[in-house]
Structure 1
Amino acid sequence: MTAVAAAGVLALAGCSGGSGGGNNGNKGTGGPANDSGTQINAKDRSELQEGGVLRIPISKLPSNWNGMHIDGNEADISDMLGYTLPSNWLYKPDGTFEVNPNFLESYDVKDATGDSPQVVTLKLNKKAKWNNGDPITWEDYAQTAKVCDGSNVAEADPESDAEPTDKYVCASTDGWTSVEKVEKGADEYEVVVTFKNPYPDWSGTFSGVLKKDSIKDPETYNTGWKTDMPNDDWLAGPFKFESVDRSAGRVALVPNDKWWGDKALLEKVEFKALGADAIPGAFANKELDVTGGIIDANTYQTVIKRADAEVRVGTGKTWRHYTINSQAEVMSDQKVRQAIAMGMDRVQTTKSDLAGIDIIKPEELVLGNHFFMPDQEGYVDNSNVTPYDPEKAGALLDEIGWKLEEGKEFRTKGGKELEIKYLAISGISTSENEGKMLQDQMKKIGIKVTIVPTSSNEFFKQLQRGEYEIATFSWVGTNYPMANIDQIYGAKSSSNFAKLEIPKVTELVPEIAKEMDKKKRIDLTNEVDKAIWEAVHTVPIYQRAQMIATPKNLANYGAFGLSSGKPEDIGYTK
């Protein structure tokens, strides 16, 4: 289950702990992931009963349902739309894919040779239709490719709720900028995509599609999805929206009577907006059927008390990190940022965050790369560029004039105390704990950390507006780790919350985008990774193992790892 853009675009994790498993891939209960990195209790449809409700937690109801828009680029939205929008690929546990026959019959790739460009041909399932009866055709793909191709893209204005009416506001242009044209093939059900340059991650870009009418112009694209409930005419999937109750924080999906594939087994899927601290108890009391990602010991210890519970563990694509606002006054100095990074004990912070969860080994999850997870091909720990070294951090601060005077607790320069402000989300244990850990670690090198509390609803708005100095949150990664570099680290990207331009990123991203030799591409990506460590744009802390609590009889759902599932096949065993 993958909404358009989600397979190839990094998304912000919700404050409930990230994706609950609907899209991805036992203390009595659980245990380590199997060798494939997944635990979903895979069952054939014949072994499952018809009916039943699946209740899933989310952080909040969205203000914009468009997953390609920066305001809709959240894992919760991707999970919900994964039940109701086209998804072209079925991902296997190793991250490779095959066609989803509900939407595609086949695909063909002609590699670039000489003067001949790379051409991808998609043959669509002729039975596939939008909910208003319109067929899904090449025209939908052409319009989807057009909106974020970079030719008419605006930066989001976090200071205003008003949307531009003449430009598209995109979460990312990665992939789309490599598309030369999308044309009709033998008939309207054949999509022919010609690329400007070789593009190895084309399948991430064309993992899904939006209805052309829903993104026909910038105004519709930017504001047409800003409704209580998405326009049913714009959707196509095994489920449809039944209701959205914003006062109760509830979204209800039911089987789509216009669906052409296998009938959905569940009679209803409900998403409930809950604070992170309320989720464990709601699951334990059987008010929820699954949890989002388990992120701390309190959640883990609470959920395993439920008699029929198990915790399914999989390879995680979500990663925890510090983002540093380079435009904040004191943070504008790269050497200050480097000193901060060298004062961070990331191993200690990881162990503290994950203490008490006995089905994982926290020290194995410490992350040393901005792109590859430790279990992905290409992973190299590049954190030695700015290693944990408090003594060196102090010397660096001395060098640039931030001195620790005798008898003083914190460094000063020109009579001003060296202070940084950490933006903490109230009620989110990891956010609060990471702030306290940072406070203790920075004190050892003479930096004062003031913790500034905020709500989960305001947090990401403050990131976009640059109203912070340092913060921690999670990105939900993808099966395409080399396709998202420009999204977070590109100078012009709306998702570059650090507001920092890194010359090596600008130089190498175009090469990485078109390099077809996998080893060379990995080497180039790791070169960029080292530059990001040196610039101190973002400091990774750890990879989040995917831990999902479910009832034991729930099948085809849980910790998907790098794989994906079919929403229509989720159900309860007989």
Structure 2
Amino acid sequence: MPVVLIAAISVTATACQSSSGKDSAGSDARDVPSAAPAAADYNPTPYDKIKDGGTYTTVGTFDDQGNPFNVNATLTASRVWAWYNADAITYSPTGKVQYNPDYYSDVKVSVEGGNQKVTLTINPKAVFNDGTPIDWTAIKATWKANNGSDKAYAASSTDGYDHITSVEKGTNAKQAVITFKGVNASWSSLFTTFLHPKAATVDNFDKAYVKKAHPEWGAGPYTIGTWDTHSGNITFVRNPKWWGKRGKLDRRVYVNLESTAAVNAFKNGQLDYVSAVDAESLKQVKGLKGTEIRSGGSPFEYSLYFNTKSPVLADNDVRRAVQESIDRTQIAKIRFQGLDYKEPLPGSAVLYSFQKGYEDNVSAVLKYAPDDAKKALDAAGWKPGGDGIRVKNGKKLEVGYTLLGDDPLDKATAGAFAAMLKPVGISLVIKKADEADFSNILSERKFDLFLSGNRSMDPFGARYLCDFYCSDRASNITGAGSPALDKEIRATTKIADLDQQAAAVNKVERKALQEYALLPLFSGPSTYGVKQGLANVGATIFYNPLPETVGWEK
């Protein structure tokens, strides 16, 4: 689960209020830092300093697709999954690999004849909730479902899994021996969690978790208490079958609320944690009695996606003209208005400016140039009409923009796009949709332009170029690309050295960006209002704290 999609309104970038009153993005370009901040802020607290008991409540609900390995799963699915399934490998905030001994009691990596071998020894006590031992067959089943050999599986990403040549039983059933073709430095991202063998059949992989949970196929310190399909609320309780450290909380609760209602629910004491989605919501939670603001670096990136299968955006010239007409600096100014936060404009879909190997690939292929956009549209036969909107073959140059929910910041962003495109002769038609339609809009490509984000679940972003740009990938929601480009992209996944791989990825991404189907816009920090005393929760970058370590300080 390398990268997961999120709606624009889910975790919008915010930061602490500016004391000067100036809005940061409008400042001189020379003031912009060369890299985004990479600090974490989550009240790290040792297990023995957390009290037993209590409830932790946030906004959230189950997703249409609850299997995080499935192409239609989003960040919500990954977060809910982690509360009742294995969290076998996690990462530190900066991306250092951490093995969870409750699942993998020993991990050995070796290279023989140029091919990597990973031996996972599974904790003898590890068992799924239905009594099935967690053993090598779960690792094999996860590999089979995700390696791309059977196209009936709608897998989110086959990268890495497709370089495994075998998963075999080791000295006993509690040992899995994974053999790769070549070397895979980021193999850990493939088995951070795993599927119950029953969940890994084609039918169950694609359909069993659609608006349903399967706690019997899960494992971990918590299991499902209530899963209310009517309200969308979920409660997790301690799992009596858990063999590891006891979960500190009595209950973990997700309440299904629209994002705009979340801040009021937090102020009323109904929630323990809320994403401060803009300057206004931050103002409302800042200074509340018993509340802390936790803000840090962000493994999120928000991009504008172009549906290349829609009639109006099938033309590369039109897509390029749209991108050249968008002033990304102005969009950042809108998103960060009233916030003491600065970042460089993002230059890649896969690496962040605070990571080693990052290069600004967007600036290498695109500049803000509305006059060039006009010339390109003239040359492509789109002539200005009487009302200023261009026309070709009797058809107006109208592009749809799908706006989710009623968030004021998202409305302002949509309005800014419309205002930028109008002088070039492009009419932006804003189409409203419910937040609940997010998965459906993406999976069925029901959009022309769509603003959405991604959260990187591990630090190996260069490995996932194909997810964004390969023409034969369902995860490439733009539908852009070509078999020739796919080949170049896939060649980068075979490079074992991470530095060399990043250099190759930057080169290929510059070609992919010339499809003009994806435009990185902003990242921003992660900022949250959190009740005082809540431990191991907040801005964690690449770190996902184990569920049993989340709770309230003694």
TM-score normalized by structure 1? 0.89
Aligned 8 A contact 2:163 2:181 in 1: yes
* Cα displacement (A) at 1:63: 2.9
* Cα displacement (A) at 1:469: 0.9
Distance in 2 between residues matched to 1:473 and 1:549, nearest whole Å: 23
SS at match of 2:446: coil
Hey, what does 1:12 align to over in structure 2?
Answer: 5
Residue 424 of structure 1 pairs with residue 403 of structure 2: yes
* Cα displacement (A) at 1:544: 3.2
Distance in 2 between residues matched to 1:169 and 1:19, nearest whole Å: 28
SS at match of 1:70: coil
SS at match of 2:527: strand
Residue 224 of structure 1 pairs with residue 208 of structure 2: yes
Match of 1:38 among 21, 37, 40: 40
Aligned 8 A contact 1:200 1:513 in 2: no
Q: Which residues of 2 match residues 136-155 of structure 1 at below 5 A?
A: 136-153=134-151
Residue 332 of structure 1 pairs with residue 314 of structure 2: yes
Amino acid of the structure 1 residue aligned with 2:110: K
Amino acid of the structure 2 residue aligned with 1:89: I
| Per-residue Cα deviation, 1:35-90 (whole angstroms, up to 9, x for no partner) | 862111111223222111100112x432332111223x211121111122112223
SS at match of 1:254: strand
Residue 201 of structure 1 pairs with residue 186 of structure 2: yes
Hey, what does 1:162 align to over in structure 2?
Answer: none
Q: Would the alpha carbon gap of residues 365 and 307 (structure 1) be closer, same or farther in structure 2, given more than 3 Å must change? A: farther
Residue 74 of structure 1 pairs with residue 54 of structure 2: no
* Cα displacement (A) at 1:467: 2.2
Q: Which residues of 2 match residues 127-526 of structure 1 at below 5 A?
A: 127-153=125-151, 167-215=152-200, 217-226=201-210, 228=212, 230-292=213-275, 294-358=276-340, 360-361=341-342, 364-384=343-363, 385-404=365-384, 408-478=387-457, 479-503=459-483, 505-526=485-506
Aligned 8 A contact 2:296 2:541 in 1: yes
SS at match of 1:49: coil
Amino acid of the structure 1 residue aligned with 2:263: P
Q: Which runs of 5+ in 1 are unaligned?
A: 1-5, 21-25, 154-166
SS at match of 2:541: coil
| Per-residue Cα deviation, 1:179-201 (whole angstroms, up to 9, x for no partner) | 11100111111110011332222
Greater Cα offset, 336-345 or 44-53:
44-53
| Per-residue Cα deviation, 1:322-363 (whole angstroms, up to 9, x for no partner) | 0001121121111111111111101101110221233x22xx
Amino acid of the structure 2 residue aligned with 1:288: L
Match of 1:49 among 42, 48, 51: 51
SS at match of 2:450: strand
Aligned 8 A contact 1:83 1:567 in 2: yes
Aligned 8 A contact 1:118 1:194 in 2: yes
SS at match of 1:56: strand
Hey, what does 1:86 align to over in structure 2?
Answer: 86
Aligned 8 A contact 1:369 1:383 in 2: yes
Q: Would the alpha carbon gap of residues 535 and 309 (structure 1) be closer, same or farther in structure 2, given more than 3 Å must change? A: same
SS at match of 1:177: helix
Amino acid of the structure 2 residue aligned with 1:11: V
* Cα displacement (A) at 1:112: 5.2
| Per-residue Cα deviation, 1:361-408 (whole angstroms, up to 9, x for no partner) | 2xx152111111111112111222111111111121122122336x64
Distance in 1 between residues matched to 2:199 and 2:71, nearest whole Å: 16
CA RMSD, 1 decimal: 2.3
Distance in 2 between residues matched to 1:112 and 1:56, nearest whole Å: 47
Hey, what does 1:535 align to over in structure 2?
Answer: 515
SS at match of 1:12: strand
Q: Would the alpha carbon gap of residues 350 and 558 (structure 1) be closer, same or farther in structure 2, given more than 3 Å must change? A: same
Amino acid of the structure 2 residue aligned with 1:342: E
SS at match of 1:111: strand
Distance in 2 between residues matched to 1:27 and 1:347, nearest whole Å: 19
Hey, what does 1:61 align to over in structure 2?
Answer: 62
Taking only the aligned residue pairs, the percentage that are identical comes to 25
| Per-residue Cα deviation, 1:216-270 (whole angstroms, up to 9, x for no partner) | x212222222354x22220111111001112222100011111111111111000
Distance in 2 between residues matched to 1:19 and 1:271, nearest whole Å: 19
Amino acid of the structure 2 residue aligned with 1:327: K
Hey, what does 1:23 align to over in structure 2?
Answer: none
Distance in 2 between residues matched to 1:287 and 1:381, nearest whole Å: 42
* Cα displacement (A) at 1:205: 0.8
Aligned 8 A contact 2:421 2:427 in 1: yes
Aligned 8 A contact 1:504 1:531 in 2: no
* Cα displacement (A) at 1:288: 0.6
Distance in 2 between residues matched to 1:179 and 1:278, nearest whole Å: 46
Amino acid of the structure 2 residue aligned with 1:303: V
Distance in 1 between residues matched to 2:190 and 2:530, nearest whole Å: 31
Distance in 1 between residues matched to 2:199 and 2:532, nearest whole Å: 40
Q: Would the alpha carbon gap of residues 439 and 513 (structure 1) be closer, same or farther in structure 2, given more than 3 Å must change? A: same
Q: Would the alpha carbon gap of residues 521 and 173 (structure 1) be closer, same or farther in structure 2, given more than 3 Å must change? A: same
Q: Which runs of 5+ in 2 are unaligned?
A: 20-35
Hey, what does 1:161 align to over in structure 2?
Answer: none
Q: Which residues of 2 match residues 104-119 of structure 1 at below 5 A?
A: 104-111=104-111, 113=113, 116-119=114-117
Q: Which residues of 2 match residues 536-555 of structure 1 at below 5 A?
A: 536-555=516-535
* Cα displacement (A) at 1:125: 1.2
Q: Would the alpha carbon gap of residues 49 and 120 (structure 1) be closer, same or farther in structure 2, given more than 3 Å must change? A: same
Aligned 8 A contact 2:117 2:177 in 1: yes
Distance in 2 between residues matched to 1:100 and 1:515, nearest whole Å: 28
TM-score normalized by structure 2? 0.92
Aligned 8 A contact 2:211 2:229 in 1: no
Q: Would the alpha carbon gap of residues 28 and 435 (structure 1) be closer, same or farther in structure 2, given more than 3 Å must change? A: closer
Distance in 2 between residues matched to 1:14 and 1:415, nearest whole Å: 35
